[in-house]
Amino acid sequence: PDVIVGARFYRAWLTVTQLGLAACPLNAQYADDEARARAAAWFALPEGAHVVSVWRVGRAKTSMLPASARLPPRALVVDDRP
């Protein structure tokens, strides 16, 4: 279900942040049916599966990041569920 996909997406993003990395989603190209089909073929996904999100991930330059009012990832991830 979409809720599980969303929870896994959020958990992955929090993990990336916790590791001191930054992520930039590159999802616009997958809004198109043809692009999604090409991505499924490229990644050899099983029948019925599709790309949900693609990210560009790299080291975060903390000196360039503004202060955040958000809670730290450790305070948001409370258990091992997806």
Which residues have CB under 8 Å from 13's CB, separation 6+? 23
The answer to whether the predicted template modeling score (pTM) of the entire model surpasses 0.85 is no
3-state secondary structure of 1: coil
Q: What is the pLDDT of residues 57-78, one digit of tens each?
A: 998 776 666 677 778 877 877 7
| pLDDT tens-digit readout, 11-43 | 998 999 888 888 888 877 777 888 888 888 888
